[in-house]
Structure 1
């Protein structure tokens, strides 16, 4: 029998909750506290479920029956009203912070565990410097392609390569927002067509034929530069590691007995440990540095703050003062070494390239141990150092 308003009002609380049926699954539940709730019992996919409609008398009998009819229509199409309500609540919760900065930082913190700390700091700095000043407070839905383009064009005036990197990062933010139901489109899509065309250049490096003159200038510069800086340049030449891998090196990475330098994975670009066989010439330089910086954690401590490592720009400035501004860089030692190993010493590309810590393109090769070709690399590094000693 259908409930009447009088029956609902007269229902008294009992020790335990009880139900008063209205029909078609709708009932009024009376709790021990005296509160009365409308609920609908239904079956979907073979399972019995319940959904709350509201409290009586705020929701009247007529309103409860109307809500019941609407819910039954949804159920008849296979829609679960409980699940629908949960999804709506989640979407509403996620929609509370829809401005670009909040979304970007939410995406950022999702990625941080996957990144190296230094890379994470760079990404955060770039958002704060280049994107947030223009877009931080705008709701995602209000950011249109033209606004995005305007922001990126400010960057590309001085850094066209960075503008494309920032476009990619912003695209990741919008794709994350789309995946989590808080955006419908990515305004960065297709913007490269309106951005300045440019050709990526390589790091400046001298050729193998120019090396003798460069080496003569480097040796002649020995008494005109800080000793640590000179030794750093010599080691960069002898080991051809990346500049950051050299200046951030710690003494615990150097094994003098085995003549090996093992750079840990967290300091390598490809997140894999790298073995650098040390020639007798390299070992001699490390021993001199050990005498200079015995009590320091870093092999190349900073000049003004020895608790930190030396600035990467220190060597670049020294190279410029040698007269090689725009002609040679710290990274250029890697290209130079590859040329000497292949052209002058006849080593195959695979062995030389592995010493550069480049990851093989082949998935099969990537599965091999990083010490592959190690005996050949030990021999190669000593021959390379001896070649440099004999260059005239």
Structure 2
């Protein structure tokens, strides 16, 4: 019959001293207190490895920092792991490694990894700039040093408090949307088990969506007349006409490259990576749009971009160029560059064109994937007819004398 070890007492432990060599005091079930000649005392746990059966000793910690009661609890925890076939020493190392990695994987670090993936998806330079600004201005200053394992809904809500007080609900919406993307990435990359803020948007008031300021088609003649008599650079006036005639978004128009234009086929092909919906967009070019291209050829025909920047011709004009021009012409709060698309949409809908054809021309994408594919494959010729109509509509609105490109073709006068 094995001898049962007598449990240690606090008095024994406090008075224990090693005289000629290190001393081992046994508490039972593998718990040992090593008393060294130097006077230090260390708790250790002796056990057999689950798979190999090899004897192993694990250090628990020093006495009195770890009391007798604490040491016994460590022993019981280790025995519980052994009962499940888990080596307590390996488990401890794994826990420490995970704790270190969790501390090292801050929001700033994970956001950088996420952004690298986004950049590899060929996002536009402007989109990357917007993401960086969102990170560096609204997210990282308050949460960048926080491990992603500690990002909680409450922490995010507190970080957004200043924006909330300022009533910047749209900024909060966009910041939280980016943060959700980062945390989704963190979950998929194994940094966290699940995204704790996947539904955090419900904690904030939703911004009131407003349409981009625009004008009715009846206001188009006045707009074109103001463009013609304004002191804007010819290139800026041509960019306004180009965006209006092609019904494109401000960035798509400003970034136009000569390599995208096929004058013979009378089309402009925008690659998927430049489109908001990440799908190639083919735009039939009416004669008026081709006149703009012809006018720009003398200005930038040897450049990459049709509308090169004034400051750095190696880059395109800013997508805000048209907005600034409209403000200088007195349209502040009344019309923005994106609103030029709305003028075209309203006019074409009122003229009775097929709404699906108009949506295809605007590069809008619905939720029906089959219908989207149909629109893309069958509406090109119908859009060609519609874009020719729209070009003539714009020319008529200009009264044949105020189009910036008019001098090259001698636009006919049409009574208003």
- Quote the Cα distance in structure 2 between the aligned partners of 1:52 and 1:333: 79
2:392 aligned with 1:386: yes
1:149 counterpart residue number: 157
* TM-score of the pair, normalised by structure 1: 0.73
| Deviation for aligned residue 1:242 | 0.7
2:129 aligned with 1:129: no
Give the one of 328, 332, 336 matched to 1:321.
328
* TM-score of the pair, normalised by structure 2: 0.69
- Quote the Cα distance in structure 2 between the aligned partners of 1:323 and 1:302: 23
Mapped contact 1:100–1:139 kept (Cα < 8 A): yes
| CA shift in 2, pair 1:138/1:183, >3 Å | farther
- Cα deviation per residue 1:230-262 (whole Å; 9 max; x = unaligned)? 111111111111111111111111111111111
- Cα deviation per residue 1:188-217 (whole Å; 9 max; x = unaligned)? 854644x45531111111112333333333
2:220 aligned with 1:211: yes
- Cα deviation per residue 1:306-330 (whole Å; 9 max; x = unaligned)? 1111112221111112221111111
| CA shift in 2, pair 1:320/1:97, >3 Å | same
- Quote the Cα distance in structure 2 between the aligned partners of 1:178 and 1:387: 52
1:99-138 equivalences in 2 (<5 Å): 99-114=106-121, 116-118=123-125, 119-138=127-146
| CA shift in 2, pair 1:364/1:41, >3 Å | same
| CA shift in 2, pair 1:114/1:86, >3 Å | farther
- Cα deviation per residue 1:158-214 (whole Å; 9 max; x = unaligned)? 632111111222234445556635578736854644x45531111111112333333
Mapped contact 1:174–1:183 kept (Cα < 8 A): no
Say what the alpha-carbon RMSD is for the aligned residues. 3.7
Gap regions ≥5 residues in structure 2? 1-45, 59-73, 398-415
2:341 aligned with 1:334: yes
- Quote the Cα distance in structure 2 between the aligned partners of 1:358 and 1:185: 31
- Quote the Cα distance in structure 2 between the aligned partners of 1:50 and 1:217: 90
| CA shift in 2, pair 1:41/1:204, >3 Å | same
| CA shift in 2, pair 1:184/1:40, >3 Å | same
2:359 aligned with 1:350: no
Q: Kindly tell me the number of residue pairs found equivalent between the two proteins.
A: 338
Range moving further from structure 2, 208-217 or 356-365: 208-217
| Deviation for aligned residue 1:107 | 3.7
- Cα deviation per residue 1:75-101 (whole Å; 9 max; x = unaligned)? 765769899689647634532414332
| CA shift in 2, pair 1:354/1:86, >3 Å | farther
- Quote the Cα distance in structure 1 between the aligned partners of 2:195 and 2:388: 57
Gap regions ≥5 residues in structure 1? 1-37, 44-48, 56-66
| CA shift in 2, pair 1:77/1:252, >3 Å | same
- Quote the Cα distance in structure 1 between the aligned partners of 2:234 and 2:314: 19
| CA shift in 2, pair 1:145/1:274, >3 Å | closer
| Deviation for aligned residue 1:131 | 1.9
Mapped contact 1:251–1:298 kept (Cα < 8 A): yes
